[in-house]
Chain A
Amino acid sequence: MSELIIESGKSERQYWQDLWRYRELLYFLAWRDILVRYKQTVIGVAWAVIRPLLTMLVLTFVFNKLAGMKSGDVPYPILVFCGMLPWQFFANAFTESGNSLVSNAGMISKVYFPRLVVPISSVITSLVDFLISAVLMALMMIWYGYAPGPSILLLPLFLALAFATAFGAGLWVSALMVRYRDFRFILPFVVQFGLYISPVGFNSSVVDKEWRLLYSLNPMVGVIDGFRWAILGQQNLYWPGFAISVAGVALIIISGIWYFRSTEKTFADVI
């Protein structure tokens, strides 16, 4: 007979078992968000195609045609799209998971489950849009006749890095937003600025050598560089910077889980 003891601050051991037991809820929440996402829209899933395509056109126009940036022998639209792939995923996953706790407030105050389920399922939901964009990327590469090298096999590793970045940042913001709704306004700013301070519309090699290391403190620099390296296989990866980005991601996700776990037990009281 299983015995469960509820006491102040004594839930840690139980927690990770529970998270495993509630994995089906994870699936159902992701399923719900995917089902709901394009309901009552006329063109439905086509939005997942139109949005990245238009963004790619604008960024190519601004950085390539207006600012006159070069991309070596890679077609500029492909360079841009290759950066947008992880960036869009991060932006979506971060926004969705950041808002996830507050938008599921009803459930949180009325039912028990490990709260980590909620932000995780939001990040998983964003993977669907990522997959659609990835297909788009493949079509574009065929169109331009650009074949990837063997390094593309390492792409899942960089995707995992993007996942970890979005998830870690999402944990922080979702937990903070439960108490401070100010983060609802901060979140779009981060995403908006992030697009310009991350090498989405341009190659990170345009940043001066002496600033490169500092620039890599933005973990998305490492993620995007990694994607470009894996898919385009052109220039070499800037390893010191990449290492810093990976360390940054590790820090975000570990601290994110810590903060989330330490505030989780009060969610139902303050949400």
Chain B
Amino acid sequence: MSDSIISVENLSKCYRIGRMAAKGDGLRHVLESAVRAPFNWLRPEARAKRAKTEDFWAVRDLNLEIKRGEMLGIIGRNGAGKSTFLKLLSRITEPTTGRITLRGRVASLLEVGTGFHPELTGRENIYLNGAILGMSRVEIKRKFDEIVEFSEISKFLDTPVKRYSSGMYVRLAFAVAAHLEPEILIVDEVLAVGDAEFQKKCLGKMEDVSSKDGRTVLLVSHQMPVIQNLCTRCILMDRGRLVQEGPTHEIVGAYMSHGAVLAGEGLDNRSDRAGKGDVRVSAIHLRDARGNIIHEGISGQDTVLSFSYHVSDGVTLDNCLFSVEVCKDLQEYFSLSSALVDPRRMTLSGTGRIDFLIPKLPLAGGAYHVNIYVESDRIVQDHLNDAAIMEVINGDFFGTGKILPPGTRCNSVLVPHSWEQHADRA
């Protein structure tokens, strides 16, 4: 008990949401419309809808001990409750039940550049942002030069930040945040912005913070390499609950295969999707060349990736586009797009399916993630990352009866090739 700097006991956070939008509509949309039309209760038909509010548990029964000096990664897909958990820890919102005990000063960085004012100069914004993040004036003054040097924008220090490029803006904002000196630092997916080199610099800084100064860091990220580099321990969240905790490699592995479980349940229940939602992909299957559903793809076989869709009643969507990304470890291997290969107009209504035919499946054995994206008339309709896991087993891709020898790194793209020898002298 004494060596843990954060104790979380039975923590829950409940949001009350109105259930007026169609099923499967994003939570954000529901919350937004609930906020935007507060006087709806004056209208009887809206009041009837209001009766149907339901509880949404963003965080549920969370128990966790975090040790001093630990660097903890928090992973989980969108809507798993990671950000809400961080908001509870940083006191932005109050828990519904449960308790958090903090034994140190907390600074949270849920967004880069919070409170930056576009009309103010870089210099002025350093002071303002520092104060918002909880630094005292003396502290900011002491670190001012260090911040400027870190941000690499000293030439533009007296220019209003509205004239900055987005890269400069992010650099300045992160430089301020990187010089916070709390005992507990909470960071939410802010490293995703900025160019690669600066990102690296920031990661280095964060590592220093935790290892040299013995400070505790909580980090949310979708970038597994970042988590793997920085964190020793991780927790995995899903639908508000803590699913698993343990050493990073174990949890990251669990997270990557977690998608398979979700894909098995069908896609209608997934809440982490984006887009307007007039059309939704409800299931993804692999089929063989004759259209039979198969559970694994086989390298070198003609394979069909098939997407079942349903369009909202009475809606007809024109100029539709389907696209698919096939990824491994968050790295995109290839993508398929209906518009790329065939300019025919696609019109959708009712239900049905779109099949992508991949001749001679060019993937070596392993598990791949599929991201899907559907639009109509250039409006995003459905966008879902990690929609399914595609299992592939090694097959006779090259038509030689040979498969990749055991021990060769799996999970890769296979390329048809041949070889010839041109001998000058026998």
Taking beta carbons and an 8 Å cutoff, which residues of A are in contact with B? 1-9, 11, 24-25, 27-28, 31-32, 35-36, 39-40, 104, 106-113, 179-182, 265-266, 268-271
Contacts and interface: CB of A to CB of B under 8 A. Distances in A.
Contact of B111 (A28, A36, A110): A110
Contact of B124 (A3, A35, A108, A112): A35
Interface of B: 15, 35-36, 38-39, 87-106, 108, 110-111, 114-115, 117, 119-120, 124, 127-128, 131-134, 136-137, 160
A268 B35 contact: no
A5 B119 contact: no
Contacts of A32: 117, 120, 124, 128
Given A25-B132, A39-B119, A269 B15 contact: yes
B95 A6 contact: yes
A158 B160 CA distance: 39
Given A6-B101, A113-B132, 6 more contacts: A6-B102, A8-B98, A28-B131, A35-B120, A110-B111, A179-B35
Contacts of A11: 94
B120 A112 contact: no
Given A7-B95, A28-B127, A111-B108, A270 B35 contact: yes
Given A3-B103, A36-B119, A106-B115, A8 B92 contact: no
A180 B37 CA distance: 8
Contacts of A182: 38-39
Given A35-B120, A111-B133, A8 B97 contact: yes
Contact of A8 (B89, B96, B102): B96
The 5 closest A-B pairs by CB, nearest first: A28-B131, A112-B91, A6-B100, A4-B102, A265-B94
Contacts of B101: 3-6
Contacts of B108: 111-112
A269 B160 CA distance: 31
B108 to A, nearest CB: 7
Nearest to A271: B35
Contacts of B93: 265-266, 268-269
Residue of B36, B95, B114, B131 with most partner-chain A CB within 10 A: B131
A106 B87 CA distance: 14
Contacts of A28: 127-128, 131-132, 137
A39 B134 CA distance: 26
B137 A7 contact: no
B39 A180 contact: yes
Given A6-B88, A32-B128, A24 B136 contact: yes
A32 B110 CA distance: 22
Contact of A110 (B39, B100, B114): B114
